[in-house]
Amino acid sequence: MSYIPHTDAERQEMLKVIGVGSMDELFEAVPSEYRFPSLALPEPMSEMEVLRELQELSDANFDASVAPIFLGAGAYNHFVPSVINHILLRGEFYTAYTPYQPEISQGTLQAIFEYQTMICSLTGMEVSNASHYDGATALAEAVIMALNVFKKKRRRIILSPAIHPHYRAVVRTYTQGMGLEIVGDENPDASPDDLVGLLDGNTALLAIQSPNFFGQIENLNGLAEKAHEAGALLAVIANPISLGLLRPPGEYGADIAVGEGQPLGIPLSFGGPYLGYFATLRKYVRKMAGRLVGQTVDVEGNRGFVLTLSTREQHIRREKATSNICTNQALMALAATVYMSLMGKRGLRKVAELCYHKAHYAAERIDSLEGYRVERDKPFFNEFVVHCPKPVPEINEALEAEWGIIGGYDLSADYPDRENQMLLCVTEMNSREEIDELVEALAEVGA
């Protein structure tokens, strides 16, 4: 319980205890011009005036709500149905934490259960947790799970260089000091076949992304069999929207499916909060981090939901904990649940088809421009690499200043050998007129 001193004598005694002689000495680390009472605060304003000023500041932002955006690279501008926010803003959802008491948490537990069910349907896997902070932590937890499956006797992790660079960085940060051998991504040109050649008896996990960071759809046929022949697990990172159109990881024999759930009804929000989905096979369920909601019946035989198989460090079986993940993104998982339930199987396929066809229309037009070339050696989903006649930052600056367009991602920031290469993204939010304007702008800027 805190204690507030009320007299000068009490204040002096407390100052003496912490080793300072006066209140001024206590705050001497704060520059004098920022100390009370000489604070240079503006004159008071009414609520109306404050709102007007805040609106003016907001209008100065240049973001996806006011400009055509062709930037992806892991976070995507998709349509978010308005009903999602209406449900998220219900007090019982946005104030809820871990639903430890099922008798008063049935709504939250059922929402999480439905999320798990939909993620399993989408990925073709058998069980899903709910959930992780983002796609990067989901991949890092896949690595930890693979180590736990093999009781830490296998120490090699193979990462494709075409996995999102931030994901690979998080894996290394997550596992530093664990003595792992992380290989594969040191060669930026390594293909899936090259990665298969790295499999050995010490390999715990082979991880590959499809569509990969460059938007390309990898050929995963036979990859799981080769990983399993070496005794290793296969993890596949996938954009969940692409799974509305492409074969899910489960059909390729993947042991783990992870990815960024932000495209499922979660706005860009300047980088978060986002959602990491994680699904695996039933036989590995006790090695999976995060929470899992199960369906059961109560004493009267009515359907109910409970938190189950959550071996986390603050639970009673903490010695069996598989991870230090203590919480999740329950509100984001709820957003994804509402989105998937609204869209349904056909709606998700329609969104995926729009992204695919619009991206290919844009690629065809850009590829015909003088000085530009689109990489087309592999099929792609809604992102593609463009070789540009000028540095990408220079092109993006001109697109923004002269055309009011948010351009693509400068690949040289993460791949030094990809200088003057731009990663462009097209979603259902980009109209044909916006794409045509982008093409016109690129032609003028590149001239």
Q: How far apart are CA 304 and CA 297, in angstroms?
A: 5
Q: How far apart are CA 284 and CA 254, in angstroms?
A: 12
Please give the residue that has the higher pLDDT: either 331 or 239. Answer: 239
Q: How far apart are CA 428 and CA 425, in angstroms?
A: 10
Say what percent of the chain tops pLDDT 70.
94
Q: How far apart are CA 181 and CA 169, in angstroms?
A: 14
Question: Please, where in the chain does CATH 3.40.640.10 lie?
Answer: 82-340
Say what percent of the chain tops pLDDT 90.
74
pLDDT, one tens digit per residue, over 248-290 is 999 999 999 999 999 999 999 988 899 999 999 999 998 988 8
Question: 156-159 and 203-209: which strand pairing?
Answer: parallel
Alpha helices in 165-312 (DSSP H): 165-175, 192-196, 223-229
What is the distance between the terminal CA atoms of the chain, rounded to a whole angstrom? 70
Q: Which fold has domain 82-340?
A: Aspartate Aminotransferase; domain 2 (3.40.640)
Contact 395, 445 (CB under 8 A): yes
Determine which of 43-52, 78-87, 214-223, 318-327 has the lowest per-residue pLDDT on average.
318-327
Residues in the chain: 447
The identity of residue 318, as a single letter, is R
The identity of residue 435, as a single letter, is I
- Report if pTM > 0.85: yes
Q: Taking 50 as the threshold, does the pLDDT of residue 1 lie above it?
A: no
Q: For 344-446, which CATH superfamily applies?
A: Aspartate Aminotransferase, domain 1 (3.90.1150.10)
Per-residue tokens: 231 = 């005794």
Residue 4 CA: distances (Å) to CA of 8, 17, 64 = 12, 14, 48
Q: How far apart are CA 131 and CA 114, in angstroms?
A: 13
pLDDT score, position 255:
98
List 190's β-bridge partners, or say none.
none
